[in-house]
């Protein structure tokens, strides 16, 4: 009987052992590690590449710090930041994030406690002045300025020559003169002077910044459209270009690039970040030059402007100090690093001491031996600093529609005052 | 061999029972296990196919929603005059063109709203070389490649149809929905509509319903696999699957097919709007293996069978063992005169059987004993009756002797003879069952001897040697008399005179009576017995010498009786062995 009992018992044990599934996969690692710095940025060829270089430099000296770089589309970063910050938790958010200057204020002002003040991490006087306003609030520095959106007028010297112009004729231009040159070029070569996407008013932004003006008042919230002389002139210039029939429209980035790579366009007034795209068409080497950007005719306008550009921000959290240290020691003070950035990626920073470096003075054969980096660095310092405020893109959406109305014959004053009314209604 | 056979015979019952039980247990378990597995397989397949056809309906509706949206977007693009202008007009002034570009953008945004729920991009190309894309980064293909691409060729081949095509040259496979843009009035093609969605996005319509061994394939009407949760299959063409799917759509339910060296359960559904087939393939083995753990089931039934068999073994052995022992005991019983009880052990049934058997033995013994007693009594009664018979010849002869004495004037002698006869008769006619003392018996003998001496003269002398401690002991009546009688009439036929000694003594717990004569003697034949005298005229009672032995044995048992030794010419020695009886009332007599 005892045997039978034993048999039953062992059978039961065996069966139960069989049925127990092998589960419990333990979840390890979740806690915030102050030695781990996570970074979000977009554009693998530019921002991510720069980050990888910085990481390599920093980790050599701080081997115990782990830096993780995560690539996200800019739209995704904006959306995730908004979601994360408005829910009030830093969980799932990175330590460092790249934010476009036009959007920076909307984040800094909407979530004042979320960002780590960087004043101690670097010397803001080392950076181009125009970068300070968008990256600070009430004199407190939150962002570490990164790439320069300094603009230039990329021109096809061969087309200009056909129309009887040299690069010297393009110094200190205003936009009206630019249109005149465009007409001549079109006459001489049949090529359009400029290519524009009707859904992107980057050119307007670029123009009004030469005059130190913006869509918003200096407070960053009040729309400043009706009665904005710079904006009014910019609109008129825009229409003038259309009327002069020197514009080749495009519908997106690739058509934009294709237009000048194909040689259909005589000039491209835009940010220095277009350089790699221009140089992508190697057959045009030597046919390009970069002139200072034309200015508006309003008083105080300069032949320097900015388009785009972004800066680094540190979010409050366990690893905020570590993150600030990382930025301060690389993007914030390392001259060598900036030389490397220019040489390897072609990225022009806004760190002024770097401009004296060897890489900045290098001549570029593609641009006929012009020292374009050095030129851009010079123009960077001339850019008028602006508070881009909180609603740049919201207002631009209104202006895109109103621009079409203007092109269709509506008077400029009505266009701007209607836009002003819409903006006020929308942003209230 | 013989021993084994014997052993088998002894355990035969156990073996038979055990074998039958084991065979039935094993058979039952195998049948139950098999039917359990089989039934759960059927049940599982049925429920699985029901669930999966629901799933397929869900997938179908996902696809239909999507294809409706895509068709709506295509229609909107087709119907937009702005887009037609954009794609068909030649370059005009900057202003005109700028407006066209702007309005096209607005129109395309509006068309895109139809498919805003999905991650995809819409691209249009025109005969004038213009194009527009809502997201050029999504589908990285340059216009020249696209114009020469097979999907464009196929699209122009069937201009009025919304075609779902697979484009595999990009970094990730794309499903491209194409349609020619046609000017209605002239029926001329002015452009092309491409709606591209990454296969990985397209997959989302069904991928949540798939799992390992449960695959979904989307195949078009030429058998090409456009999309599948198994990426390695995308782009391949299987006419076999297409044929099976078309056949299956005619009927309801599922069927089992052999595909890629495995057994698959196949469900299919036709998507008329997309002209495609959704095929659901379920790898029977991997799915069933996950669901029904055949090994565990088989193992558990094996363990159960093992337990059952061991229990059956123990119980049936216990039962048959006691039964076999009982049978063995019973069969050996006749050798032991039926006086050995069987051992009462084992199960309740065998115990009861053993009890009943023992009771029966008891009854049998009682009955036999009773029978023996009855026979004894009968014989006793017969002997007693014999004993009571006084031979009339004896009386006649004795009385004749007395008459002669009286006639001769021997009055005193005649009186003594009559006295002896009276005493003799007194004893003989009393209760035969009573015992008398030795003393009384000797008196009787003396009377008898006296009568004989009166009749035949005194040539035979009788002497008595009685041990003093014996005279009060009891013996049955007329137990010695027949031997004296015998000696008188047979021992002295040749010799004319002699003597008879009667010796009575006690030897331990037996009483010995010896009657010794010095007469003729005889040759003892078998049976130790004196020759029966039929000349019963001289006999006193019906009892003969022969009967004495029988009577003693009947009364006292085997160890008592009569022993005779004799030699011709030397006399006869008779020895009676009797028990020592002290009181007179011996009930047995």
What ipTM was estimated for this complex?
Answer: 0.82
**What is the rounded distance in angstroms from the CA atom of residue A357 to the CA atom of residue A347?**
14
- Cross-strand bridge partners of residue B517: B500
Q: Which of B93, B98, B296 sits opposite A198 (nearest CB)?
A: B98
Phi, psi of A99 (to 5 degrees): -130, 135
Chain-chain contact of B98 with A249 (C-beta, under 8 angstroms):
yes
Work out the minimum CA distance from A251 to partner chain B, whole angstroms. 7
- Return the SS3 of B558: coil
Which pLDDT value is given to residue B430? 67
**What is the rounded distance in angstroms from the CA atom of residue B445 to the CA atom of residue A354?**
173
Residue with tokens 């063409």: B237
Question: Nearest CA to B545 among B515, B569, B570, B503?
Answer: B515
Considering only residues 185 to 244 of chain A, which have any Cβ-Cβ distance to chain B shorter than 8 Å? Answer: 192, 196-199, 241-244
Work out the minimum CA distance from A268 to partner chain B, whole angstroms. 16
Considering only residues 362 to 401 of chain A, which have any Cβ-Cβ distance to chain B shorter than 8 Å? Answer: 400
**What is the rounded distance in angstroms from the CA atom of residue A397 to the CA atom of residue A416?**
13
Q: Which of A192, A245, A407 sits opposite B99 (nearest CB)?
A: A407
- B314: nearest CA partner in chain A: A1
Report which secondary-structure segment, H or E, holds B517.
strand B510-517
Chain-chain contact of B299 with A18 (C-beta, under 8 angstroms):
yes
Which pLDDT value is given to residue A19? 40
Work out the minimum CA distance from B16 to partner chain A, whole angstroms. 22
Residue with tokens 């491409």: B194
CATH 3.40.190.10 intervals, chain A: 36-148+308-369, 151-305+391-427
What are the Cα distances from residue A115, in Å, to A93, A140, A221, A317, A324?
12, 11, 20, 9, 11
**What is the rounded distance in angstroms from the CA atom of residue A131 to the CA atom of residue A146?**
9
Please check whether residue A223 is in contact with residue A216, taking contact to mean a CB–CB distance below 8 angstroms. yes
Which pLDDT value is given to residue A33? 58
Residue-wise pLDDT tens digits, B417-444 = 888 888 888 877 766 667 788 888 888 8
- Return the SS3 of B280: strand
A2 touches chain B (CB under 8 A): no
Report which secondary-structure segment, H or E, holds B373.
helix B348-388
Chain-chain contact of A15 with B300 (C-beta, under 8 angstroms):
yes
Q: Which of B99, B133, B296 sits opposite A404 (nearest CB)?
A: B99
**What is the rounded distance in angstroms from the CA atom of residue B349 to the CA atom of residue B298?**
37
**What is the rounded distance in angstroms from the CA atom of residue B550 to the CA atom of residue B168?**
131
**What is the rounded distance in angstroms from the CA atom of residue A307 to the CA atom of residue A101?**
10
Report CA dihedral (B324, B325, B327, B332) to the nearest 10 degrees: 140
Measured between beta carbons, which residues in chain B are less than 8 angstroms from residue A199?
Answer: 101-102, 105
Please report, for chain A, how many H helices and E strands are present, in that order: 16, 12
B351 touches chain A (CB under 8 A): no
Chain-chain contact of A198 with B300 (C-beta, under 8 angstroms):
no
CB atoms within 10 A of CB B209: 18
Q: Which of B97, B136, B299 sits opposite A254 (nearest CB)?
A: B136
Assigned token pair, B437: 């003392």
A253 touches chain B (CB under 8 A): yes
Question: Nearest CA to B480 among B523, B524, B509, B511?
Answer: B511
Measured between beta carbons, which residues in chain B are less than 8 angstroms from residue A242?
Answer: 93-95, 98
**What is the rounded distance in angstroms from the CA atom of residue B408 to the CA atom of residue B233?**
162
Please check whether residue A363 is in contact with residue A372, taking contact to mean a CB–CB distance below 8 angstroms. no
Which pLDDT value is given to residue A328? 92
A407 touches chain B (CB under 8 A): yes
How far does Cα A292 stand from its chain's mean position?
A: 20
Half-sphere exposure (CA, 13 Å, Cβ side) for B156? 14
Interface probe for B, chosen from A1, A183, A190, A249 (most Cβ of B below 10 Å), is A249
**What is the rounded distance in angstroms from the CA atom of residue A108 to the CA atom of residue A317?**
16
Residue-wise pLDDT tens digits, B518-553 = 888 877 665 555 555 444 445 666 666 777 787 788
CB atoms within 10 A of CB B424: 26
Mean pLDDT of B506-520: 87
Residue with tokens 């195949």: B219
**What is the rounded distance in angstroms from the CA atom of residue B86 to the CA atom of residue B131?**
9
Considering only residues 116 to 145 of chain B, which have any Cβ-Cβ distance to chain A shorter than 8 Å? Answer: 131-133, 136
Which pLDDT value is given to residue A232? 95
pTM confidence score: 0.66
**Strand pairing class (A96-100; A310-314):** antiparallel
Question: Nearest CA to B455 among B401, B407, B502, B416?
Answer: B401
Maximum C-alpha span of chain B: 210
Chain-chain contact of A11 with B303 (C-beta, under 8 angstroms):
yes
Chain-chain contact of B94 with A197 (C-beta, under 8 angstroms):
no
Residue with tokens 């084994």: B4
Chain-chain contact of B101 with A251 (C-beta, under 8 angstroms):
yes
**CATH number of the domain located at residue range(s) A151-305+391-427 in this protein:** 3.40.190.10
A408 touches chain B (CB under 8 A): yes
Interface probe for A, chosen from B85, B86, B98 (most Cβ of A below 10 Å), is B98
Residue with tokens 């972004």: A310
Question: DSSP secondary-structure letter at A368?
Answer: T
Assigned token pair, B470: 């014996």
**CATH number of the domain located at residue range(s) B80-202 in this protein:** 3.30.450
Residue with tokens 């027949």: B482
Mean pLDDT of B474-481: 83
Which pLDDT value is given to residue A1? 47
Which pLDDT value is given to residue B530? 55
Give the gyration radius of chain A's Cα atoms: 27
- B308: nearest CA partner in chain A: A4
Out of A305-309, A317-321, B61-65, B391-395, pick the least confident: B391-395
B299 touches chain A (CB under 8 A): yes
Tell whether the model's pLDDT for residue B117 goes beyond 80: yes
CB atoms within 10 A of CB A386: 21
Label residue A372 left, alpha or beta by phi (over 0 means left) and psi (-120 to 50 means alpha).
alpha
* Residues 6+ positions from B184 with CB-CB distance below 8 Å: none
Question: Nearest CA to B576 among B552, B546, B543?
Answer: B552
Measured between beta carbons, which residues in chain A are less than 8 angstroms from residue B112?
Answer: none
Label residue A370 left, alpha or beta by phi (over 0 means left) and psi (-120 to 50 means alpha).
beta
- A407: nearest CA partner in chain B: B95
**What is the rounded distance in angstroms from the CA atom of residue A202 to the CA atom of residue A200?**
6
- In chain B, the percentage of residues whose pLDDT exceeds 90 is 18
CATH of B389-579, one of 3.40.50.300, 3.40.50.12780, 3.30.70.420, 3.30.565.10: 3.30.565.10
Q: Is B553 exposed, middle or buried (0-12, 13-18, 19+ CB in 10 A)?
A: middle
What are the Cα distances from residue A103, in Å, to A81, A394, A424, B81, B145?
12, 11, 19, 37, 38
Tell me the pLDDT of chain A (428 aa) as tens digits.
444 455 444 544 444 444 433 433 333 333 445 788 999 999 888 899 999 999 999 999 888 899 999 988 888 899 999 988 988 777 889 999 999 999 999 899 888 889 999 988 899 889 988 899 889 988 899 999 998 889 999 999 999 999 999 999 999 899 999 999 999 999 999 999 999 999 999 999 999 999 999 999 888 889 999 989 999 999 999 999 999 999 999 988 889 999 999 999 999 999 998 988 898 899 999 999 999 999 999 888 999 999 988 999 999 988 888 999 999 999 998 888 999 888 888 788 888 888 878 888 888 899 999 999 989 988 988 998 888 988 899 999 999 999 999 999 999 999 999 999 999 998 87
Which pLDDT value is given to residue B531? 54
- Cross-strand bridge partners of residue B500: B462, B517
Chain-chain contact of B105 with A3 (C-beta, under 8 angstroms):
no
User: According to the 3-state scheme, what is the secondary structure of A149-179?
Assistant: CEEEEEEEHHHHHHHCCCHHHHCCCEHHHHH
Q: For the residues of B39-105, what is the DSSP string, one character each?
A: HHHHHHHHHHHHHHHHHHHHHHHHHHHHHHHHHHHHHHHHH-HHHHHHHHSPP--HHHHHHHHHHHH
Assigned token pair, B243: 């044929």
Measured between beta carbons, which residues in chain A are less than 8 angstroms from residue B143?
Answer: none
Please check whether residue A47 is in contact with residue A96, taking contact to mean a CB–CB distance below 8 angstroms. no
Tell whether the model's pLDDT for residue B328 goes beyond 90: no
B101 touches chain A (CB under 8 A): yes
Work out the minimum CA distance from A177 to partner chain B, whole angstroms. 19
Chain-chain contact of B105 with A15 (C-beta, under 8 angstroms):
no
Chain-chain contact of A243 with B98 (C-beta, under 8 angstroms):
no
Mean pLDDT of B543-569: 80
Which pLDDT value is given to residue B452? 83
Interface probe for A, chosen from B89, B93, B100, B101 (most Cβ of A below 10 Å), is B101
Tell whether the model's pLDDT for residue B18 goes beyond 50: yes
For B499-510, give one letter per residue: b (16+ CB within 10 A) or e.
Answer: bbbbbbeeeeee
Residue-wise pLDDT tens digits, B259-275 = 888 888 888 889 888 88
- Cross-strand bridge partners of residue B475: B436
Which pLDDT value is given to residue A307? 92
Q: What residue segments make up the domains of chain B, in order of their start?
A: 80-202, 389-579
Which pLDDT value is given to residue B111? 92
Assigned token pair, B252: 């309801």
B34 touches chain A (CB under 8 A): no
**What is the rounded distance in angstroms from the CA atom of residue B179 to the CA atom of residue B157?**
10
- A244: nearest CA partner in chain B: B94
Q: Which of B97, B306, B314 sits opposite A249 (nearest CB)?
A: B97
CATH of A36-148+308-369, one of 2.60.40.420, 1.10.3720.10, 3.20.20.10, 3.40.190.10: 3.40.190.10
Question: DSSP secondary-structure letter at A360?
Answer: G
Please check whether residue B263 is in contact with residue B45, taking contact to mean a CB–CB distance below 8 angstroms. no
- B124: nearest CA partner in chain A: A251
Would the CA dihedral through A329, A334, A336, A337 be positive or negative? positive
Which pLDDT value is given to residue B70? 92
Q: Is B157 exposed, middle or buried (0-12, 13-18, 19+ CB in 10 A)?
A: exposed
Tell whether the model's pLDDT for residue B588 goes beyond 50: no
A9 touches chain B (CB under 8 A): no
Which pLDDT value is given to residue B585? 53
How many residues make up chain A in this entry? 428
């Amino acid at each position: 009987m005892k045997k039978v009992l034993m048999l039953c018992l062992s059978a039961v044990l065996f069966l139960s052992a069989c049925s127990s599934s092998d589960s419990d996969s333990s979840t390890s690692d979740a806690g915030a590690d102050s030695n781990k710095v996570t970074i979000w940025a977009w554009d693998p060829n530019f921002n991510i590449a720069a980050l990888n270089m910085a990481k390599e430099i920093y980790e050599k000296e701080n081997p115990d710090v782990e830096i993780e770089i995560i690539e996200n589309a800019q739209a995704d970063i904006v959306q995730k930041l908004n979601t994360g910050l408005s829910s009030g938790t830093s969980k799932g958010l990175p330590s460092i994030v790249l934010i476009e200057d036009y959007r920076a204020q909307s984040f800094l002002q909407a979530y004042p406690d979320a960002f780590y003040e960087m004043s101690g991490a670097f010397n803001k006087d080392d950076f181009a002045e125009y970068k300070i306003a968008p990256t600070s609030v009430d004199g407190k520095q939150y962002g570490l300025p990164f790439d320069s959106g300094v603009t230039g007028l990329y021109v096809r010297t061969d087309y200009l020559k056909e129309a009887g112009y040299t690069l010297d004729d393009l110094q200190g231009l205003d936009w009206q003169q630019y249109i005149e040159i465009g007409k001549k070029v079109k006459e001489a070569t049949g090529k359009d002077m400029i290519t524009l996407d009707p859904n992107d008013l980057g050119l307007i932004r670029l123009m009004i910044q030469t005059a130190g003006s913006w869509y918003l008042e200096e407070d960053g919230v009040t729309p400043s459209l009706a009665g904005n002389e710079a904006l009014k002139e910019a609109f008129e210039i825009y229409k003038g270009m259309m009327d002069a029939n020197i514009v080749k429209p495009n519908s997106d980035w690739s058509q934009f690039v294709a237009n000048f790579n194909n040689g259909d366009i005589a000039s491209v007034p835009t940010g220095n970040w277009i350089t790699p795209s221009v140089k992508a068409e190697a057959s045009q080497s030597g046919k390009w030059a970069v002139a200072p950007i034309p200015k508006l005719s309003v008083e105080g306008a300069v032949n320097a402007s900015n388009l785009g550009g972004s800066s680094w921000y540190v979010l409050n959290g366990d690893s905020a100090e570590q993150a600030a240290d990382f930025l301060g020691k690389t993007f914030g003070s390392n001259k060598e690093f900036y030389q490397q950035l220019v040489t390897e990626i072609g990225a022009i920073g806004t760190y002024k001491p770097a401009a004296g470096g060897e890489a900045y003075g290098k001549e570029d054969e593609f641009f006929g031996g012009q020292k374009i980096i050095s030129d851009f660095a010079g123009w960077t310092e001339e850019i008028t600093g602006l508070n881009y405020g909180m609603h740049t893109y919201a207002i631009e959406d209104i202006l895109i529609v109103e621009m079409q109305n203007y092109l269709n014959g509506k008077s400029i004053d009505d266009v701007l005052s209607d836009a002003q009314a819409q903006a006020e209604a929308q942003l209230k | 061999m013989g021993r084994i056979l014997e052993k088998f015979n002894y355990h035969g019952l156990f073996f038979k029972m055990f074998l039958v039980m084991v065979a039935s247990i094993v058979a039952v378990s195998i049948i139950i296990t098999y039917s359990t597995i089989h039934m759960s397989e059927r049940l599982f397949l049925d429920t699985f196919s029901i669930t999966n056809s629901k799933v397929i309906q869900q997938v179908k509706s996902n696809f239909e929603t999507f294809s409706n949206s895509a068709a709506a977007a295509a229609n909107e693009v087709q119907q937009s005059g702005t887009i037609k202008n954009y794609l068909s007009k030649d370059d005009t002034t900057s202003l005109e063109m700028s407006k066209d570009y702007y309005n096209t953008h607005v129109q395309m945004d509006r068309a895109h709203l139809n498919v805003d729920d999905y991650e995809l991009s819409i691209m249009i190309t025109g005969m004038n070389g213009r194009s527009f894309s809502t997201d050029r980064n999504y589908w990285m293909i340059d216009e020249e490649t696209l114009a020469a691409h097979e999907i464009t060729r196929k699209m122009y081949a069937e201009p009025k149809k919304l075609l779902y095509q697979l484009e595999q040259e990009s970094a990730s496979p794309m499903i491209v929905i194409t349609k020619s843009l046609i000017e209605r009035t002239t029926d001329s093609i002015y452009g092309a509509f491409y709606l591209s969605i990454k296969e990985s996005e397209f997959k989302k319509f069904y991928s949540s319903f798939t799992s390992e061994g449960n695959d979904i394939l989307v195949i078009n009407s030429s058998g090409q696999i456009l999309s599948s949760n198994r990426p390695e299959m995308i782009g391949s063409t299987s006419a076999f699957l297409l044929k099976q799917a078309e056949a299956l759509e005619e009927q309801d339910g599922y069927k089992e097919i052999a595909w890629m060296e495995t057994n698959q359960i196949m469900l299919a559904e036709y998507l008329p709007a997309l002209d495609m087939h959704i095929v659901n393939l379920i790898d029977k083995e991997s799915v069933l293996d996950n669901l029904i753990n055949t090994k565990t089931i088989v193992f558990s039934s094996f363990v159960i069978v093992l337990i059952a068999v061991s229990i059956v073994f123990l119980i049936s052995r216990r039962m048959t063992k006691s039964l076999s022992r009982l049978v063995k005991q019973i069969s050996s019983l006749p050798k032991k005169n039926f006086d050995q009880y069987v051992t009462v052990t084992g199960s309740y049934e065998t115990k009861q059987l053993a009890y009943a058997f023992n009771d029966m033995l008891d009854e049998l013994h009682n009955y036999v004993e009773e029978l023996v007693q009855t026979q004894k009594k009968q014989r006793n009664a017969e002997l007693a009756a014999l004993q009571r018979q006084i031979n009339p010849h004896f009386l006649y002869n004795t009385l004749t002797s007395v008459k002669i004495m009286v006639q001769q004037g021997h009055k005193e002698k005649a009186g003594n003879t009559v006295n002896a006869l009276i005493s003799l008769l007194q004893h003989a006619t009393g209760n035969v069952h009573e015992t008398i003392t030795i003393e009384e018996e000797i008196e009787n003998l003396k009377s008898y001897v006296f009568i004989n001496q009166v009749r035949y003269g005194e040539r035979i002398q009788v002497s008595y040697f009685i041990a003093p401690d014996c005279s009060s002991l009891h013996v049955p009546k007329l137990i010695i008399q027949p031997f004296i009688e015998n000696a008188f009439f047979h021992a002295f036929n040749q010799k004319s005179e002699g003597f008879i000694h009667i010796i009575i003594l006690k030897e331990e717990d037996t009483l010995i009576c010896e009657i010794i004569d010095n007469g003729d003697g005889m040759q003892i034949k078998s049976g130790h017995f004196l020759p029966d005298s039929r000349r019963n005229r001289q006999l006193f009672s019906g009892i003969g010498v022969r009967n004495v032995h029988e009577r003693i044995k009947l009364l006292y048992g085997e160890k008592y009786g009569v022993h005779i030794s004799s030699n011709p010419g030397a006399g006869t020695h008779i020895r009676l062995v009797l028990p020592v009886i002290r009181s007179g009332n011996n009930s047995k007599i």
